[in-house]
Amino acid sequence: MKALCDTLGMEGYAPTGFVSAHRALETLRGQEFDLLLTDLMMPEMDGITLLNTAREIAPELACVMMTGHATIDTAVKAMQAGAFDYIVKPFKLNVILPVLNRALALRNLRLENTRLARRVAERTRELESANKELEAFSYSVSHDLRAPLRAVQGFCQIFIDDFGAGVPQEGRQLLEHVLNGSQRMAQLIEDLLEFSRLGRQPILRQIVPLDRIAKRLVDEQRAKDPQRHVEVRQGQLGECEGDPSLIEQVLVNLISNAFKFTRKRETALIEIGAERREGDLVYFVRDNGAGFDMKYADKLFGVFQRLHSNTQFEGTGVGLSIVQRIVERHGGRIWAESAVDRGATFFFTLPPATDEAA
């Protein structure tokens, strides 16, 4: 044993040798070691018992067993006890050093994994705390901000209805500006709450019939303005896997945007379909409306980011942010192609329908 300790010391290790297994365990309880190199057969206890007891004291300890019995049973027992490897005696230095190096490397990996798991747990706790704060903020927004806003809207409307005839035109316009501004703020609050809720809402995966949902949403958009003629070409979408209510919200936003941004076209054309691209099924909603400059495409999905003024097209700039969040939470991606006054196409992917979801 002394010769082995001396040899390992010359190779850069700092070994501590023991002739007593009990003495080794006693020292291990008060001092930190990286690796245990033990014989299988010893006077006080066998190597398997020593190894099990040592790992109870120091779970991250790397263990290597030495044995003169080169049998499979010996190796299996050593591995089952938690040994990284075993060495058959008599051994040579060029055999034992690689085994020890690998065992220490494994120990370092285990320690790093433990540290990583600890950081993940800490990060999870931080996220849970942040989510609770966000929920508290959402509650505050929904109750503390909307109530006075409704009061402003209500009193403005009552004043216009009861005293509007006696108010000069300029004063009436100012009141209508206040009313419109409060309504827009209320919509901004609703959209912000919806965006916040989507980050916490669990996804209930089912088979989603996209054709039926898209057709119903198109009919609903037509019903909002029956006098307007919009040509809609809907291809076969099939089914996908996801949360039906969330997927419907994706289509609601994209289809309603297509109707909105083609409003100034004499002949409005909207296409809804799917196509294969590099093996993926890509859905799209295309229109021949106002379009946008692609140099601003990176702002398209940002919260409250708008590429058109409110006087041109109404909106809060949250809808596409919601769409992106839903698509990405389903494991898909979304992007757009467009040119000013030449329409826009929004592409997105979703998980295909599977038997498990069905």
Q: What is the pTM of this model?
A: 0.55
In this structure, of 156-160, 271-275, 335-339, the range with the lowest mean pLDDT score is 156-160
pLDDT of 113 > 70? The answer is: yes
User: What pLDDT sits at residue 344?
Assistant: 93
DSSP state of 12: T
Sequence-ordered strand ranges (E) for the chain: 35-39, 62-67, 85-88, 206-209, 230-234, 239-242, 268-277, 280-287, 334-338, 344-349
CATH topology of domain 2-91: Rossmann fold (3.40.50)
Name the burial class of residue 346, with classes exposed (0-12), middle (13-18) and buried (19+) by CB atoms within 10 angstroms of its CB.
buried
Residues 6+ apart with CB under 8 A from 271: 232, 233, 234, 235, 284, 285, 286, 287
- The CATH number that domain 206-349 falls under is 3.30.565.10
Q: pLDDT (tens digit, 9 = 90+) per residue, 37-48? A: 888 778 888 888
Residue 45 has a pLDDT of 84
How confident is the model at residue 104, as a pLDDT?
Answer: 85
For helices 21-30 and 47-57, give the axis angle rounded to 10 degrees: 10
Query: What would the two tokens of residue 150 be?
Result: 């409704």
Number of Cβ within a 10 Å radius of residue 254: 26
Per-domain residue ranges of the chain: 2-91, 134-198, 206-349
Q: Mean pLDDT for the chain?
A: 83
What are the angstrom distances between the C-alpha of 44 and each of 3, 39, 65, 355? 21, 12, 16, 60
Q: Each residue of 181-192: pLDDT tens digit?
A: 888 777 777 777
Higher pLDDT, 4 or 342: 342
Per-residue pLDDT tens for 229-265? 999 999 999 999 999 988 998 999 999 999 999 988 9
Are 196 and 130 in contact by the 8 Å Cβ rule? The answer is no
Tokens of residue 65, six digits: 């067993």
Flag whether pLDDT at 304 surpasses 60.
Answer: no
Is pLDDT at 207 greater than 90 in this prediction?
yes
Per-residue model confidence (pLDDT) at position 208: 94
Residue (of 64, 67, 61, 74) closest to 99 by Cα position: 64
Residue type, 187: Q
